Chain A
Amino acid sequence: MEVSLNWLKKYVDLNGTPGDDPQALSQALTSLGLEVEGMKVSGAVPGVVSAEVLTCARHPEADKLSVCTVTDGSETFPVVCGAPNVAAGQKVLFAKVGAEIPGKGGEPGFKIKKAKLRGQESHGMICAEDEVGLGESHEGILVLPAETPLGLPMEKIAGLSDVAYELNVTPNRPDALCHTGVAREIAAKFGKPLRYPGEALKETGPAIAGQIDIQLEDIAGCSKYVGRVINGVKVGPSPDWLVKALKSIGKRSINNVVDLTNYVLLETNQPSHAFDLNRIRGKQVIIRKAKAGERLTTLDGVDRALTEADMLIADAQGPMVLAGVMGGKDSEVSETTTDIFLEVAYFTPAVVRRQGRRHGLSSDSSFRFERGIDPLATSQVADYLAALIALWCGGTVANGRLDKSAPEHQASPRIVYLRPARAEKLIGMALGEAECARRLESIGLKAGATSQVHGQPALAFAIPGFRGDLEREADLIEEIARLGDYNTIPVTLPTLPLGYKALPPGESLSRLLRHHLKDAGLNETLNLRFSSRKALAKLGLPAEDPRSACVPLRNPISEEWEILPTTALPSLLAAVAYNQNNQERNARFFEIARSFYHRPEERSARLPGIWEEEMLCIVLSGDWPDRRPWSGDTALSGPVEFHHLKGLVENLLAAAGVQARLGNPATDAWLHPVESGVILAEQGKIPTGAEILFGSKRAQSKGEVRIGSFGVLNPRVQSQFDLKGPVLAAEISLSGLLAAAAKTPKFKAFGHFSAVSRDLNLLVDEARSHGDILGRMPTGRVSILQEVRLNSVYRGTGVPEGKKALHYTFTYRHAEKTLTDDEVNKAQEKVNQELAKDEGIVFK
């Protein structure tokens, strides 16, 4: 909202206060909670000062020019002036040499220089209104009041320049949406009285009775409706002061009647509406709900279908105004209007708000009604506005005022009690009762009787109608704090008992994982938690996958962001594609992202029926990070492959202390059917997130729950995302990890006697897996067997086509003695016998 400094000064005198400086006033407004978001200075041209014309004579060689001498009080300048109205003795605006005169209507400006006009020296310019941005007139020079002191810079000359402040008024402060309201705040800040506007009302016209009748039907939407009639009005252009006042805050002049209603709105915050009395059919004004099928063409030219929820101002035949929001074309005041019916009403905020929203309309009036105007001021404003119309548009105010009220209309000031001791306690500083009262009275509250509230002394305050937001003691306490300036309140740390709260386990785990993955060479991403069904479909998930049942937004920003993601994989894969397109082929990302699963059966009055699960997502593409970059050792680098990701997963499970097993392959549609795996955790209780995602039936063997999958991205999915090279991905449930996370490791005794090892080379079919062969070894039954290590998988010379050679090393150790060769051989023989039962295994 904009306010004009000159306009504000009508109500408060800032002379001699710090507020006299526009910049200081701006800071004061912000400190009051009326944040200044912008400041526009007009009518202040540097280098232009007040001056006096000392002499003025006709130019010897040009009829239309005068040769003058001008003084700014300290120096005298010769000036040639072309204005017809220049005369000796005038106080004028004088642009000195060097002043930069702004251009008009977008044209470039010019700089005043010493000049010679037809042989006469000219050292400056006497200014016309339009040359210094004060108006349109170029009829002649602007003559200042005779009492204007000399040599004042233009911005210091009273009433000449102006400052428009753009204020950010919070929704709780409708009182500050007008000039008197802002002036009230400033007056309180600088300890000055507030001068309310007024105009004596003369009801010299015919009686209002018989001219119009008001029927207030919709008392829920309108608790007060006041009408006045002004007869014999002449609608025409507004007087200069009015045009200037509206223009100062960027409002256009329409005609004198409409301008005055706008002026009073901007002055007092009270909206009003002027009707052409003679266009009100049946001499009836009815405040009612609309009927089905009714239509209204509003002032913006839109023909609107009304609903039964809409509140109208209607006449005997139909709708005239969408109440509180916008008038209709038919009853508008025009050039031919002679008699005016003036509406000043109090409409219920929520009703106006809803109808504005319904019709996508907002106006200066509806904005104020929505926030709540002064319920006590309607009649007074109606009188004031009627008097102004009679004064400036001619005509006479009809005798009498029509005043309709709903029984529940607030008719007297609200009383709110304040305990000064409570204010001191909640603000945290000593103030005293007198200071509390002084601050509140400075903005129009009236202190009354003292009494007791909750056993504490309290003061009663009468709340003026314009402060509808002050309903409770807390509201008064805020005013006391605000008016004293928050920056004067002490800075004190609370003295609370010492306490310590460990991080919740989920936070600790996710922190651990994030740092672990960072140390493993991955970059943490952050994706917007919006997705689309289209992006999700690229994963090729079956319909029964819980990730297919996504939650759509009712008002998405775009088609790409129309749902809440059930998995962050599409976003991460898109991020990899984005990076690949930017020559960043080694994208190794992770993110602990939130997935939103639809759970309609969980919906209740307070619960949204959506399960939010933290999922650790990993994507790898490009090369695995090279640990010896310039060594030339190619074995250390190369494209990411399944076992890189598997190793990463194994490491992170170890870092998190999770007891889990990896199984092959995963069945997820987005993963490669062979080159993939699942994470199976030992746990008693299945966490909800894992249950939703992977089903309540425990996966694979007893006591194991699937908590995630990983592997090479399915090539079909990869092509959907336009990804190049190998791409691997994993998705792991954080709650699953958390439920499986083990306690602190416990020490296990290790033997001091030396270990003995035996090697074994096995030849098997390509199709046989290491896991399968490992499973055949009687590891649990040979107590001295400590470790079976796979040394190599060999294909090539000496190994037939379609076969592979697996080289294992077996380590034997006894806790209490050194093993003999014989003992070791026996143990190894046991292993060999077991393996020999498998016909597919050949010893080499």
Chain B
Amino acid sequence: MQLIQDIRVRLDAEMQSLQAKLAAGEKGLSKVFEDAKIRYQGKKGDISGLLRSMGTLPAEQRPDFGKLVNELRDYAEGLFDSMQQGIKEADIAGSLAGSTLDATLPGYRIPQGSLHPMSQVREEIISFFQGLGFELAAGPEVDNDWYNFEALNIPPDHPSRDMHDTFYVDDQVVLRTHTSNVQAHYMETHPGQPIRIIAPGFVYRVDNDATHSPMFQQVECLVVDKDISFAHLKGTLFVWARHMFGDKTTMRFRPSYFPFTEPSAEMDVSCYFCGGQGHNNGQPCRTCKTTGWIEIGGCGSVDPNVFGKLGWDPEEYSGFAFGFGIDRITMLKYGIPDISHLTRNDNRFLKQF
């Protein structure tokens, strides 16, 4: 019986000391705790030893002895259970505090490349017009003079050909000078159907300086139906301009001339760098050269001659078209100062987008 009492005292002392160490924040106690559990509760532990020794006792002592051992077993179990949570918690806390990981080191990233800024803007424009129910259309970059010029009401010897510095393959074949050739192709192949198309693409002009590239990207938009007006052109451009340049954007239309539209206009939007003020905190705005306006592109109602040339009845149908430079919008959006960056393919440029 004394033996049972001794074990109990020893257990209490051990656990009290453990508790004290736990309270003092000592680490590595879970091992000590687990060892103690095994020493008392294990198959070869003290409590099992007591039960085994019971056989050596006189039979009349056994029930009492058994009762006391069971009491000790329950007591030990209760004691260990009560300490288990605290030991585990201390252990986790210790392991958390002990981490030496340098979290400021860069993450293991799956290396990412980049999309060309112009193709990002192109996608954004397509998505916007797709949302309005437009169809993406395309046309050849090398085209017959007829589609690039004549079908668009630009006959040979017309002075407006001076506006297009054309690359020629031969007398009949040109590099398209605008995406408007898509109008001609599309109207020819879709007679008498309402049209809503958006057609981005590369175009070519014999021009190469700080602000001009011989190849640049335009986007053409064409809407044809029975009751389309110039007001509708303005409405469509308005929602687009606000999407592209922000909710406060205003626009301005100036009369211009394109042989394939009438009325023809140039569209300007309020400069979004200076909010159309021409100045930023007293500094002259370089983006709009203090005018407060940024030229975006040309537009107008489809000229009846274009309908005629492509076999449509201008009495029945009307429409509008506009075209603007994706290069220019890209340069504005990202603040790219020089057009030659767009095709030089310098990694230091490409990686920025």
Measured CB to CB, the residues of A under 8 A from B are 30-33, 35, 170-173, 349-350, 353-354, 370-371, 425-429, 454, 472, 474-475, 477-478, 481-482, 486-487, 489-494, 496, 498-501, 503-504, 507, 511, 514-515, 517-530, 551-557, 561, 564, 575, 578-579, 582, 584, 586-590, 594, 596, 605-610, 612, 625-631
Contacts and interface: CB of A to CB of B under 8 A. Distances in A.
A171 B159 contact: yes
- Closest 6 interchain pairs by CB? A428-B231, A33-B255, A428-B229, A625-B111, A170-B257, A486-B253
Interface string B13-45: 000000000000000000000000000000000
B230 A489 contact: yes
B167 A555 contact: yes
B303 A493 contact: no
Nearest to B102: A630
B37 to A, nearest CB: 36
B223 A494 contact: yes
Interface stretch (B53-61, B78-86, B92-100, B260-268): B260-268
B70 interface: no
B196 interface: yes
Contact of A501 (B130, B227, B238, B259): B130
A354 B234 CA distance: 38
B52 interface: no
Contacts of B159: 171, 349, 353, 370-371
B347 A501 contact: no
A579 B347 CA distance: 7
A638 to B, nearest CB: 14
B254 interface: yes
B280 interface: no
B265 A504 contact: no
B344 to A, nearest CB: 7
A499 B133 contact: yes
Contacts of B147: 606
B257 A171 contact: yes
A522 B115 CA distance: 9
A540 B236 CA distance: 51
Given A429-B231, A486-B254, A582-B346, A522 B142 contact: no
B345 A589 contact: yes
Contacts of B301: 426, 474
Interface in B56-70: none
B263 A607 contact: no
B346 A171 contact: no
A498 B143 CA distance: 33
Given A523-B351, A587-B347, A631-B108, 6 more contacts: A370-B159, A486-B255, A496-B194, A528-B213, A606-B146, A607-B144
Contact of B169 (A530, A551, A584, A590): A551
Nearest to B258: A170
A399 to B, nearest CB: 39
A524 B113 contact: yes
B160 interface: yes
Interface string B105-117: 1101111111110
Contact of A630 (B106, B119, B130, B342): B106
B191 interface: no
Contacts of A478: 255, 262-264
15 contacts: A171-B159, A425-B229, A426-B229, A428-B231, A486-B265, A491-B238, A500-B133, A523-B347, A524-B114, A524-B115, A524-B350, A525-B345, A608-B140, A612-B140, A628-B108
A588 B113 contact: yes
A529 B215 contact: yes
B188 to A, nearest CB: 9
Nearest to B239: A493
Given A491-B235, A629-B108, A527 B262 contact: no
B255 A482 contact: yes
A553 B167 contact: yes
Given A354-B157, A494-B223, A494-B225, A35 B254 contact: yes
Contact of B231 (A353, A490, A496, A588): A490
Given A490-B231, A515-B115, A526-B118, A501 B257 contact: no
Measured as residues with beta carbon below 8 angstroms from the partner, the interface class of chain B is 35 or more
A492 B235 contact: yes
Contacts of B194: 496
B263 A499 contact: no
Contacts of B167: 553-556
Contact of B214 (A557, A582, A596, A606): A557
A32 B255 contact: yes
Contacts of B108: 627-629, 631
Contacts of A477: 262-263
B313 to A, nearest CB: 11
Contacts of B142: 551, 564, 596, 608, 610, 612
B348 interface: yes
Nearest to B114: A523
B160 A427 contact: no
A514 B169 contact: no
B5 interface: no
Contacts of A586: 347
Given A519-B112, A555-B167, A525 B254 contact: no
A554 B168 contact: yes
Contacts of A519: 110, 112-113
Given A524-B113, A587-B347, A474 B238 contact: no
A123 B263 CA distance: 58
A482 B263 CA distance: 8
A525 B116 contact: yes
B262 A475 contact: yes
Contacts of B109: 627
B329 to A, nearest CB: 15
A491 B347 contact: no
B206 interface: yes
A517 B113 contact: yes
Contact of B106 (A427, A587, A629): A629
A576 to B, nearest CB: 9
A734 to B, nearest CB: 13
Contact of B162 (A171, A426, A523): A171
B245 interface: no
Contacts of B351: 523
B256 to A, nearest CB: 6
Contact of A491 (B173, B231, B254): B231
A243 to B, nearest CB: 31
Nearest to B303: A474
A629 B111 CA distance: 10
A557 B262 contact: no
Contacts of B170: 554
Interface in B209-252: 213-215, 223, 225, 227-232, 234-236, 238-239, 252
A488 B145 CA distance: 37
Contacts of A607: 144
B345 to A, nearest CB: 4
Given A33-B254, A557-B214, A493 B232 contact: yes
Contacts of B270: none
Given A491-B238, A499-B133, A520-B113, A584 B144 contact: no
A767 to B, nearest CB: 35
Interface centre among B141, B142, B206 (most CB of A within 10 A): B142
B112 A518 contact: yes
A503 B206 contact: no
B133 A486 contact: no
Contacts of B6: none
B304 interface: yes
Contacts of B253: 486-487, 489
B51 interface: no
Given A507-B136, A606-B146, A629-B106, A521 B215 contact: no
B163 interface: yes
A578 B346 contact: yes
Nearest to A354: B157
Contacts of B265: 486
B216 to A, nearest CB: 10
